[in-house]
Amino acid sequence: MIILGIHDGHNASAAVFVEGNLTSAAGEERFSREKHHYGFPFKAVTAVLNDANLSLDDIDHVAMATKTLPPSYFKTRRNATFSIEDYWKEQKEYWYPKLYEGKFPSYTQIFRNHVDNTFFPYDESLIKNETDHEGMWAARVKHACKTLNITADKISVHDHHTCHAYYGYLTCPDAKTKELLVYTMDGGGDGCNGTVSIGRPGEPLEFVSRSSNCNIGRMYRYTTLLLGMRPADHEYKLMGLAAYNNMSNARKAYEVFAETLRVDGLGFNYQVEIEDHFFHFKERLEGLRFDAVAFGVQKRTEELLVEWIKNGVVKTGLQNVVMSGGVAQNIKANKLIWEQDGVESLFIPPGPGDESISIGAALAAIVEQGEIKSVEPVLNGYFGISYDDDAVRIAIKKYADSNSFEVEPMCCKKVAGYLAKGDVVARFDTKSMEFGARALGNRSIIADPRNPEVIHTINKLVKMRDFWMPFAPSILEERVDDYLINPKSIDARYMAIGLDSTELGKQHLAAGLHPFDRSARPQIVRKQDNEEYYDLISAFEAITGVGAVLNTSFNIHGEPIVCSPNDALDTFSRCGIKRLIIGDYLISKA
Ligand SMILES: [Fe+2]
């Protein structure tokens, strides 16, 4: 059975399963080169099928994620095209009149500059108006049938949070051996924003709670906007900023958040009802310092998540927790969660936000077909795509004509030497691209993690990262205890979980820790997950004694992470980085 998973909302993606085995998955933004791509993932579908040596004719079933998506978001391609100003305009010109004045403004009229019908390949006659998600679903199915050359009876749709939950559950390394307590949490999808379920080996999930009041994500999202950053994108920047303040300075801001949402068993309610999650907070946070606001929302988020999860642990007696959905990217809260007594382990899959619900939809379809036992374990975060040596050589030739490059065979020892003397190196591995927004070595920029000066260098050369934001380290598995405090041996392979650093960690990883609290969101590198990357870090260790490198994603500020060899060479030629590992080659600028 070959199942194609499709997510056609924001952060669109495609995934293919062959006989229960995830052979390939990727986000459309990598191919379209448009961050947070909104709409059908044409290019990702082609790529995941090619990667699995399949064609459209081979597909037995198509599993789509999320039934209720409004036409207005497809028309404007909201998350992909909106600036920060647009999100403010959305609040002021759409939501305020709707919520506070009883009016019915037209979304597509307000954002008519974003509407381009060349990006709307759906049958308009099926859609009554811009909020008609039923009509939009009919149009999505019709479009999928035509594009994928398949009949409607072979298409299933899966509830948004069911997709999040199955993705977390069935990609967890313990799925076949332990009972898991699975949480989902996000800004919202299909009328829900938080679930709790139990995953027993070989059995479908048993949902014990579904909440539409788990508004942590919404509260965080609109606070992000209030601080002048992009919602559903820059929440991690607030999380980084929050560490610079404390309760004695930020109590007022904290109380604004603390007086509203609260945990109620396995769900949520409000001690003070609020009309909305933007204007309510805007009014009450006015005049408060930006870092106090960031502290307040982060602190309250941590409290709510910890209490919610502790309640689940107590109620079910299960101690192995899995979290999925956009809010599960809050590495600071995740740190507090795994530290709780009663929590034995915490697993966050790679790319737990909406980018992975194509995979979750395919898994939900497999479960519906009664084939859950056929699902193969997911071994690491490298879900695809791969490129051959020809693609690399063609790309090198193309860019070598207009740039002065020296090309030589890749040599770990040589690159380790460059890193040790302070060079910043981009790395592109042809074998298997990592999934999600965190680069795990195959689409990475790496450097010596000891010297904080290298942060400045990387920012100048390519990243332009916000000054308060930390970089992250990739650490050899055998060195974890030297550098990090991880008494529960938490699976921290995907840069999704925070850990404190040891004294040696503070020396060896100085540039890869949060500058203020010196915690890390590490990628622990195991040889069996990525042998070439492991060998490169080992070569660096042989020269320096440091079993880690600093790792940030291979992209220019504001662009998606590179995908193809061509993207790698293009980005390399446009930025200040002097060395690129690509496949079996090492390229140096003259
Ligand atoms: Fe979601």
What does 69-114 look like in DSSP terms, one character per residue?
--HHHHHHTHHHH--HHHHHHIIIIIIHHHHHS-----HHHHTGGG
Ligand 1 centroid – CA 190 distance (Å): 9
Beta strand residue intervals within 420-480, DSSP E: 425-428, 443-447, 472-476
Nearest CA among 567, 561, 302, 537 for reference residue 444: 561
pLDDT of residue 465: 83
Ligand 1 centroid – CA 443 distance (Å): 25
Ligand 1 centroid – CA 189 distance (Å): 6
Distance CA(518)–CA(84), nearest Å, equals: 30
**384 pLDDT more than 90:** no
Ligand 1 centroid – CA 39 distance (Å): 15
Ligand 1 centroid – CA 158 distance (Å): 12
Ligand 1 centroid – CA 516 distance (Å): 31
Condensed to tens digits (0 to 9), the pLDDT of residues 174-208 reads 999 999 999 999 999 999 999 999 999 999 999 99
CB atoms < 10 A from the CB of 341, how many? 7
Ligand 1 centroid – CA 297 distance (Å): 20
Ligand 1 centroid – CA 556 distance (Å): 26
- What are the structural domains, with CATH classification, of the chain? 2-161 (3.30.420), 174-348 (3.30.420.40), 389-589 (3.90.870.20)
Ligand 1 centroid – CA 242 distance (Å): 24
Q: Do 163 and 364 meet the contact criterion of CB atoms below 8 Å apart?
A: yes
CB atoms < 10 A from the CB of 214, how many? 31
Ligand 1 centroid – CA 178 distance (Å): 25
Distance CA(34)–CA(233), nearest Å, equals: 13
Ligand 1 centroid – CA 9 distance (Å): 10
Condensed to tens digits (0 to 9), the pLDDT of residues 531-572 reads 999 999 999 999 999 999 999 999 998 899 999 999 999 999
Strands of the sheet containing 425-428, edge to edge, are 405-409, 585-589, 579-582, 425-428, 443-447, 548-553, 472-476, 523-525
Ligand 1 centroid – CA 467 distance (Å): 29
Ligand 1 centroid – CA 221 distance (Å): 13
Ligand 1 centroid – CA 377 distance (Å): 23
Mean pLDDT (the chain, rounded): 96
* Cis-peptide, bond into residue 385, ω within 30° of zero: yes
Ligand 1 centroid – CA 185 distance (Å): 7
Q: Which of these ranges, 131-140, 233-242, 465-474, has the smallest mean pLDDT?
A: 465-474
Q: Output the six-digit token pair for 32.
A: 């379209």
To which H or E segment does residue 171 belong? Answer: helix 160-171
Say what angle helices 331-339 and 290-316 make with each other, to 10 degrees. Answer: 40
Ligand 1 centroid – CA 321 distance (Å): 18
Ligand 1 centroid – CA 444 distance (Å): 26
Strands of the sheet containing 180-189, edge to edge, are 206-211, 192-199, 180-189, 320-324, 345-347
Ligand 1 centroid – CA 188 distance (Å): 6
Distance CA(215)–CA(438), nearest Å, equals: 25
> What phi-psi label fits residue 541: left (phi over 0), alpha (psi between -120 and 50 degrees) or beta?
alpha
Ligand 1 centroid – CA 71 distance (Å): 18
Ligand 1 centroid – CA 424 distance (Å): 35
Ligand 1 centroid – CA 425 distance (Å): 34
Ligand 1 centroid – CA 211 distance (Å): 13
Q: Are strands 472-476 and 523-525 parallel, antiparallel or unpaired?
A: parallel
CB atoms < 10 A from the CB of 460, how many? 12
Condensed to tens digits (0 to 9), the pLDDT of residues 397-442 reads 999 888 789 999 999 999 999 999 999 999 999 999 999 999 999 9
Ligand 1 centroid – CA 411 distance (Å): 42
**590 pLDDT more than 90:** no
Ligand 1 centroid – CA 357 distance (Å): 8
Nearest CA among 205, 497, 157, 179 for reference residue 349: 497
Ligand 1 centroid – CA 184 distance (Å): 8
Distance CA(202)–CA(42), nearest Å, equals: 33
Ligand 1 centroid – CA 13 distance (Å): 13
> What phi-psi label fits residue 342: left (phi over 0), alpha (psi between -120 and 50 degrees) or beta?
left
Q: What percent of the chain is predicted at pLDDT more than 90?
A: 94
Ligand 1 centroid – CA 282 distance (Å): 24
Ligand 1 centroid – CA 193 distance (Å): 8
**463 pLDDT more than 80:** no
Ligand 1 centroid – CA 14 distance (Å): 15
Q: What is the pTM of this model?
A: 0.97
Ligand 1 centroid – CA 442 distance (Å): 26
CB atoms < 10 A from the CB of 202, how many? 10
Distance CA(572)–CA(576), nearest Å, equals: 8
Ligand 1 centroid – CA 324 distance (Å): 9
For tokens 């020892």, name the residue.
413
DSSP one-letter code for 349: -
Ligand 1 centroid – CA 209 distance (Å): 16
Ligand 1 centroid – CA 483 distance (Å): 33
Ligand 1 centroid – CA 353 distance (Å): 6
Q: Do 583 and 432 meet the contact criterion of CB atoms below 8 Å apart?
A: no
For 128, list phi and psi in degrees, rounded to 5: -75, -45
Higher pLDDT, 361 or 515: 361
For 206, list phi and psi in degrees, rounded to 5: -105, 110
Nearest CA among 543, 572, 574, 573 for reference residue 428: 572
Ligand 1 centroid – CA 351 distance (Å): 11
Nearest CA among 61, 59, 65 for reference residue 41: 65
Ligand 1 centroid – CA 162 distance (Å): 10
Ligand 1 centroid – CA 335 distance (Å): 21
pLDDT of residue 402: 80
| pLDDT band per the 50, 70, 90 thresholds, residue 53 | very high
Q: Do 395 and 586 meet the contact criterion of CB atoms below 8 Å apart?
A: no
Ligand 1 centroid – CA 472 distance (Å): 25
pLDDT of residue 403: 77
Rounded mean pLDDT of 125-151? 97
Rounded mean pLDDT of 45-52? 97
Ligand 1 centroid – CA 571 distance (Å): 30
Distance CA(334)–CA(320), nearest Å, equals: 13
Distance CA(105)–CA(300), nearest Å, equals: 33
Ligand 1 centroid – CA 327 distance (Å): 9
pLDDT of residue 199: 98
Using alpha carbons, list the distances in angstroms from residue 186 to 2, 154, 323, 329, 433: 29, 29, 11, 10, 25
Condensed to tens digits (0 to 9), the pLDDT of residues 256-306 reads 999 999 999 999 999 988 989 999 999 999 999 999 999 999 999 999 999
Ligand 1 centroid – CA 160 distance (Å): 6
